[in-house]
Amino acid sequence: MSYFDREDVVVSRDCPAVTIPYGSPVTIEAGCMATITQRLGGSFTVLVEGNLYRVEGSDADALGQDVVEREVFVPEQPLSEKTVEDAAWIVLTQVFDPEIPVDIVNLGLVYTCAVSKLESGNYAIRMEMTLTAPGCGMGTMIADEARFKLQSIQGVEQVDVDLVWDPPWSRDMMSESARLQLGML
């Protein structure tokens, strides 16, 4: 399914979800008609009775889809700060704003991603990111998803994701491919 393919489904069981753009937890009831509008980064955006919701990939069976399992990302060997940082940028391209079909890296939301080696021999990642708007109710969820994906990298023991507002995000921070995809060129 690409971003532009929509699929109508009947929700087969009560399904936990989050409202978009407010980020409030809800339950989509079994038997509801839903339209899958986006399937990116292991989660789904669905339209139910005029409202948008985000459904985690672990609940995809309720939408008649294959469950998305958490995978461990294995960077090039041997592990080093450089290979872990490269892996971090790769996994962050799998984190999407549920309203926009572009990953947070190409949206220009990731300001820094620094890797350091811990005394244990594992690695810590410190990431600073922003949002397209300070009042976005999905901000915590997007940051949590970034943290979750970064923790999936082999050898990563600690991840800190900070939401920052300086400098403020602007459309100029988007990659050329993101602007092209969104029709902004």
Q: Helix, strand, or coil here: 15? A: strand
Separation of alpha carbons 112 and 179, rounded Å? 21
Q: Which residues contact 143 (CB under 8 A, 6 or more apart)?
A: 129, 161, 163
Give pTM, 2 decimals. Answer: 0.82
Q: Which residues contact 5 (CB under 8 A, 6 or more apart)?
A: none
Is pLDDT above 90 for 78? Answer: no
Is pLDDT above 50 for 2? Answer: no
Over the range 64-73, which residues count as b (16 or more CB within 10 Å of their CB) and which as e? ebeebeeeeb
Q: Helix, strand, or coil here: 118? A: coil
- What is the DSSP-derived secondary structure letter of residue 100? S
Q: pLDDT grade, residue 1 (50/70/90)?
A: very low
pLDDT (tens digit per residue) in 133-147: 888 888 888 999 999
pLDDT (tens digit per residue) in 102-127: 999 999 999 999 999 999 999 999 99
Among 104, 83, 102, 117, which residue's Cα sits nearest to residue 147?
A: 104
Q: Which two tokens stand for residue 89?
A: 């940028």
- Percent with pLDDT over 70 in the chain: 97
Separation of alpha carbons 104 and 108, rounded Å? 6
